[in-house]
Amino acid sequence: MEDFKLALQRLAKAVAVITTADKHGRYAMSATAVSELSMDPPSMLICVNKSASLYPVLESGAPFIINILHHQQTDISIACSGKVKGEARFQVGNWIETASGVHRLSGAQASIICQNVKTIEFGTHAIFIGEVKEVFIESTPDPLVYVDRRYGKVEDAKLA
């Protein structure tokens, strides 16, 4: 499995912060296991470790938001990656409550609000499928990327 981990370090991915909420509070998690699923209906999927604090909230069917980070938002990703816990994750960045009660990140490249419609469990994780309900776009594409266990931006990848 060490070779598998090394192989995945070569897979550059855009960084997002997933947010959700319930009657007990707000939850946020940095993620790279995020993908579009379908255009009809418009849908996204996220992969979440069952040990994550927001897992039980998502498992209960709560809506979620995928906040796609700008390359200058590394601090927000770090705050939401386990180094900071609970409500303190929302102390970094400007968070705006949506009609669903879930907070989106102002200044993110895009925020995609999803109705949680299906869960598929596999191994240590679950795939949550969300039907897209609303999208906010705030800047031109300049994503924060994660590759080889470090943050960067697209031009750092030396794309031709």
pLDDT tens figures, 16-56: 999 999 999 999 999 999 999 999 999 999 999 999 999 99
pLDDT at res. 160: 46
Checking if the pLDDT of 14 tops 90, the result is yes
Spell out the alpha helix ranges (H) of the chain: 2-8, 55-59, 74-78
As a CATH number, domain 2-153 is 2.30.110.10
pLDDT at res. 153: 86
Checking if the pLDDT of 13 tops 80, the result is yes
* Per-residue buried b or exposed e for 21-40, using 16+ beta carbons within 10 Å of the residue's own CB: beeeebbbbbbbebeeeeee
Predicted model pTM: 0.93
CA–CA dist 48, 50 (Å, integer): 6
Query: 148 pLDDT band (50/70/90 cuts)?
Result: confident
pLDDT at res. 1: 81
Query: 157 pLDDT band (50/70/90 cuts)?
Result: low
